[in-house]
Structure 1
Amino acid sequence: MPTIRGPSPIHLTGSAPMRHPNPRVPLGLRNTIAILCFVTLFSGGLSAADAPNRLLRAGAHAIDITPTEFPVSSAGSMTHRLADKAHDPLHARCLVLDNGETQIALVTCDSCMIPREVYDAAKELASKATGIPVDHILCSATHTHTAVTAAPTFQSLVQEDYLDFLSQRIAEGITKAQSQLEPARVGTAVGNNPRQVFNRRWFLRPGFPIQDPFDNGTDRVRMNPSANSKSLLQPAGPVDPEIPILAVQAIDGRPIALWANYSLHYVGGVPAKSLSADYFGEFARQFTRLIDGQKTEPAFVAAMTNGTSGNINNINFFEGSERQQPFEQIRLVASDVAGSAHVAYERVEYEDWVPLKIKEAEIELGVRRPDAKELARAEKLIEEAGPGPYTDRRLIYANETLDMAKYPATVQVKLQAIRIGGLGIVSSPCETFVETGLAIKKNSPLKPTFTIELANGYNGYLPTAEQHALGGYETWRAKSSYLAVDSAAKVQETLLSLLDEVAR
């Protein structure tokens, strides 16, 4: 069985790759000839010196990141799970854009969450192979809860020998996408689908107690209460039904890529021993079929990135719903969302050249570490219970408390803002609450703007200060939620500042 290891507060990239891809970067004679022909035919009155700066090129590639050996550790649970097969392939979907002045790469991976060290290694490899600057690459995870465990959370054991494999495959995917650069056009539009997103944090009626694993008794909301229950009062926050899209096509109209964004945590309904890309992978397949893109060469790449979905899921708490067979809810959601994205796609107006800008910043955020009293309580609970693994929530979080005591007082997080014509994209390394995403959209100088979460690292949930005050699962201190209460405000402020810079 492949190597697995337990959680640790400081994560280092593994050293035993599952495969040894050999990233290469040749542009290829065919692409070179095509570019020269395009410049000759379409440069018009531009001088030879100016023509390359007005040429937009794009290339996309979806590279398989499914593990080659089983069983493997499967992420997304409070207890360790092993998967013995993949129901559908996992991919790192890569898009490279080049306007003659700037090159940027966007990557989204079918993974629950990926540590910064893995992304940083992938970016270094890709940059050496392609010349794209490290700070011009945005990598993210979709947040499928049935991918290989890459980051330590709760009692999941990291699949150590997958990490180098993942970094190398991401780099290889970027390299392949760049090698397929060709003259292209881009456009944006915004779709809408309110049917598949629901706030999962609820106020309950008086008389219905809300428990927490620390025995504080101060929570005012419950995450994932029983649907259509008499206990329900109202959701504790909004949703974001928008589906912004970036469409990329060749000069002859052949589709190259679609980058979509939706604030939906994941769908689920996958058997415990299976890996799956969840609705993110199914969206890509369904959208490709909607535009008859199955036989394009190079292959068309559709990607669904995760928006700000830290408090959003697919459960209709208002009315409840029938339990579906495995994978059926994934199919239904993907079909509905792909249909909404396709409506927007039909409205896209393309541009032959757009400005490309990207800015990156690192900020320091505080860490909520346990005090002496909390640590003593956790030590007592674990001592009385004996060694894990644990199924009782009080013990699971007591174990997390012991881990959190080893964390540093602050952490550095990486944030990015990208401009693609009039479109703005920002990144967050967290499971970001929808309130933050809505505020960024409202105040951004670029329209439309969307946030890609779980990008460039993993730093747990990012509730707003107001949501922190309500308590609930997403605020419970653990490796999945440890940033200081003021972190969301700092992230939002920095991202809006970066947007102002790229908009100029």
Structure 2
Amino acid sequence: MKSFNSQSGIFKIFIPMLLCSIFLIPVQNGYAQPAKVFRAGAATNNITPKIGTSINGNMKDITVKQIHDETHVRCIVLDDGQTRLAILTADVCMVYREQLDEAKQRAEQITGIPVENMMMSATHTHSGGTACSLFQSDPDKEYLKFLTERIADAVVRANNNLIPARIGWDTGSEPTLVFNRRWRQSPVEIKNPFGGVDLLSTHPVEDITDPGLPVISIQTPEGHPIALLANYSLHYVGGTGPGEISADYFGMFAERMKKLLQADSVKYPPFVAILSNGTSGNINNVNNKGNRLSLPPYVRMQQVANIVAAEAYKVYQNIKYQDWISLSSAQEEIVLGVRLPDRKEIDRAKEIILNAKSPIMDSREEIYARETMLLKDFPKQVPLILQVFRLGDLAIAAAPCEIFVEIGLEIKSKSPFKTTFTTSLANGYNGYLPTPEHHKLGGYETWRARSSYLEVNASNKVTPLLFKLLHKLKNEEISK
């Protein structure tokens, strides 16, 4: 009996150790710990506006007459067992912080995901429903309510779809589609709408762009696609029919990736592809050094989507996956100054509007005079959310502006993370974010309006704070 008891004691120790080895369950302090499980879920929601409402993205308001393709919010939720992050894009030109804050609060109440763990951005399609008052377009109140609810619901649905997953990423490059729209080979004088002249370039400068295409892929442990998130620094493409709603190349990219990954017929888990807008404040798809071809509506848009999707698919095929990574987030509010008009500028604007031939402002001078009158009542300072997500050793920075490409390139090159990219128009809308050097040159992106009103030195305050948040998350990663 003693011999049997001795062997029994050995088995009591050996069998749990064997089970822990088989199921990769770590042992701490003599007790087996549950294995770490990484989960992910994705979902979409339709946010197509009603016919007869407003389209954002133009100097004059355009009324929705037809739906070419539906617009959506697309959301991915990631869960490392301790932290959940939600990444969401909406097919609108831009969206107020107030709507996003309300959506985040509603989603938090249902899912428990903290609002600071939600990154919500606009794709910047110029053919989506109006969600911000800009130039002569104003949002429909019913659409804002509908949009807010659909954004919140997308987070809830993605959270409900959480299943065990694996994740990986890599970066591609597509330089043939991006052109710096402020680059000129020789000095160009432009009459600005405030009665002065801007010199857009004082000497030949480099055509600065960011061709990078980071791709994050999320699959089931068996290899079935759950979601894909890519980021590209291209403003938008455009070229729609009159009064037509379209998600632009962002939506077409999402549909193309479904086909390339053969996920368009899969019912569950629902596959979602997202293309977020990078630092494209001064980047578009027009090659000023080449001949511009006149193409039928949507042709160029589809071409761009197909080319970007092809590069993303090439990257996807070489991605190495991890069964588990840790997640974290950090955000901080920054207060920036507003470039308010002075009394002389306000009096000039009043005179221009008084002499306008109709209530709808027609000339560039009239349009900016109207903006001046609206901006005069802005506060002297405005708060902005700056945010960073960490996915293992990858980082995503975010700001609520149309960020110039030079800023994004600096963040990538100086980030403490091996892979970093930046999402524009995230967590609100505060206009363009040029560098002070670009402010000196002037041009559309710097002209004071609700599309560009932050202080001249704003980027020099935004970038250091983003680096502070990046280093904070890096230090936390190292200490874990």
TM-score (norm 1): 0.87
Instruction: Answer yes or no: is 1:59 the counterpart of 2:30.
Output: no
Letter in 2 for 1:87: H
Letter in 2 for 1:218: D
Instruction: Answer yes or no: is 1:92 the counterpart of 2:62.
Output: no
Residue 218 of structure 1: how far off its partner (Å):
3.1
Residue 204 of structure 1: how far off its partner (Å):
5.6
Matches of 1:127 and 1:192, distance apart in 2 = 36
Checking the alignment, whether the CA contact within 8 Å between 1:424 and 1:449 is kept in structure 2 is yes
Residue 383 of structure 1: how far off its partner (Å):
1.4
Instruction: Answer yes or no: is 1:308 the counterpart of 2:289.
Output: no
Most deviating of 383-392 and 237-246: 383-392
Matches of 1:451 and 1:431, distance apart in 2 = 11
Checking the alignment, whether the CA contact within 8 Å between 1:200 and 1:235 is kept in structure 2 is no
Question: Which of 314, 321, 334 is 2:305 aligned to?
Answer: 334
Q: Which residue of 2 aligns with 1:291?
A: 261
Q: Which residue of 2 aligns with 1:489?
A: 460
Residue 43 of structure 1: how far off its partner (Å):
4.4
Q: Which residue of 2 aligns with 1:452?
A: 423
C-alpha distance 331-234 of structure 1, shift in aligned 2 (>3 A): farther
Matches of 1:462 and 1:136, distance apart in 2 = 24
Residue 389 of structure 1: how far off its partner (Å):
0.7
Post-superposition Cα deviations, 1:347-401, rounded to whole Å, max 9, x if no partner, equal 1111011110100100000000011111111111111225521120001001111
Matches of 2:134 and 2:168, distance apart in 1 = 38
Checking the alignment, whether the CA contact within 8 Å between 1:203 and 1:236 is kept in structure 2 is no
Q: Which residue of 2 aligns with 1:349?
A: 320
TM-score (norm 2): 0.91
Checking the alignment, whether the CA contact within 8 Å between 2:189 and 2:200 is kept in structure 1 is no
Q: Which residue of 1 aligns with 2:165?
A: 184
Matches of 2:27 and 2:307, distance apart in 1 = 45
Checking the alignment, whether the CA contact within 8 Å between 2:46 and 2:70 is kept in structure 1 is yes
Question: Which of 84, 88, 93 is 1:107 aligned to?
Answer: 88
Q: Which residue of 2 aligns with 1:3?
A: none
Letter in 2 for 1:50: Q
Letter in 2 for 1:282: M
Structure with bigger gyration radius: 2
Checking the alignment, whether the CA contact within 8 Å between 2:189 and 2:198 is kept in structure 1 is no
Q: Which residue of 2 aligns with 1:398?
A: 369
Q: Which residue of 2 aligns with 1:14?
A: none
Question: Which of 127, 130, 134 is 1:149 aligned to?
Answer: 130
Checking the alignment, whether the CA contact within 8 Å between 1:221 and 1:236 is kept in structure 2 is no
Matches of 1:187 and 1:286, distance apart in 2 = 20
User: 1:19-30 counterparts in 2 under 5 A?
Assistant: none
Checking the alignment, whether the CA contact within 8 Å between 2:186 and 2:201 is kept in structure 1 is no
Residue 321 of structure 1: how far off its partner (Å):
2.7
Q: Which residue of 1 aligns with 2:219?
A: 249
Question: Which of 265, 281, 294 is 2:251 aligned to?
Answer: 281
Q: Which residue of 2 aligns with 1:226?
A: none
Letter in 1 for 2:33: D
Matches of 2:137 and 2:316, distance apart in 1 = 39
Q: Which residue of 1 aligns with 2:33?
A: 50
Matches of 1:267 and 1:489, distance apart in 2 = 29
Matches of 1:46 and 1:417, distance apart in 2 = 33
SS in 2 for 1:195: helix
Instruction: Answer yes or no: is 1:72 the counterpart of 2:53.
Output: yes
Letter in 1 for 2:405: V
C-alpha distance 99-121 of structure 1, shift in aligned 2 (>3 A): same
Which residues of structure 2 form unaligned runs of 5+?
A: 1-19, 476-480
User: 1:345-424 counterparts in 2 under 5 A?
Assistant: 345-385=316-356, 387-424=358-395
User: 1:3-22 counterparts in 2 under 5 A?
Assistant: none
Matches of 1:210 and 1:262, distance apart in 2 = 29
Matches of 1:148 and 1:154, distance apart in 2 = 14
Letter in 1 for 2:312: A
SS in 1 for 2:175: coil
Instruction: Answer yes or no: is 1:268 the counterpart of 2:238.
Output: yes
Instruction: Answer yes or no: is 1:117 the counterpart of 2:98.
Output: yes
Matches of 1:275 and 1:197, distance apart in 2 = 24
C-alpha distance 388-253 of structure 1, shift in aligned 2 (>3 A): same
Residue 175 of structure 1: how far off its partner (Å):
0.7
C-alpha distance 289-398 of structure 1, shift in aligned 2 (>3 A): same
Matches of 2:254 and 2:21, distance apart in 1 = 35
Which residues of structure 1 form unaligned runs of 5+?
A: 1-38, 223-232
